[in-house]
Amino acid sequence: MAKEKEIRTNAMRILDKKKIDYEVIQYECGEFVDGIYTAELTGVPREHSFKTLALVGKSKQYYIFVLPVEAKVQLKEAARLAGEKSVEMIPVRDITAVTGYVRGGCSPLGMKKQYPVFLHEKALDYDKIYVSGGRIGTTLCLSVQDLINLTNARTGVF
């Protein structure tokens, strides 16, 4: 009987290449609902679960914000952190073109380009957090410090 091949994402390949410890949680999910649903489905504590949002500034620069799944991004604070007059969510139709990922499977690691990353300071309350693994049905658990180091993330409240 053939062994089922594990699906590797760009995020996982980066972590492997850098020899960074992480845990993979695979789950069945027909279509993405939201991060709260994913946390419940996988049994991951909500407070340790973070979502990845892609925003664009007035300057047309893209930014990545990683925040708790239960939080809503505060656009004024996000713009201030990014040094922009304003920021807004990118349209869903543009997510794949900008990040290389699909809605619901957007990881802060392994995007098409390296965009500035901002990590909500709430993540600093934990040693490890859960983020998307780069596809719907894959969640990664890794050290907050490793995520900061890999993405050159700045922390703040947004």
pLDDT of residue 7: 79
The per-residue pLDDT of the chain, averaged, comes to 93
| pLDDT over 50 at 140, yes or no | yes
Overall average pLDDT of the 130-156 stretch: 96
Q: Which CATH architecture has domain 42-156?
A: Alpha-Beta Complex (3.90)
Q: What is the pLDDT of residue 31?
A: 67
Over 70: is that where the pLDDT of 38 sits? yes
68-98 pLDDT per residue, tens: 999 999 999 999 999 999 999 999 999 999 9
43-56 average pLDDT score: 95
Task: Provide the strand spans (E) within the chain.
Answer: 22-26, 50-57, 62-68, 87-89, 117-120, 128-132, 138-143, 154-156
- Domains of the chain, by residue range, sit at 42-156
Tell me how far apart the terminal alpha carbons of the chain are, to the nearest angstrom. 50
* pLDDT of the residue at 29: 76
The enclosing H or E element of 148 equals helix 144-151
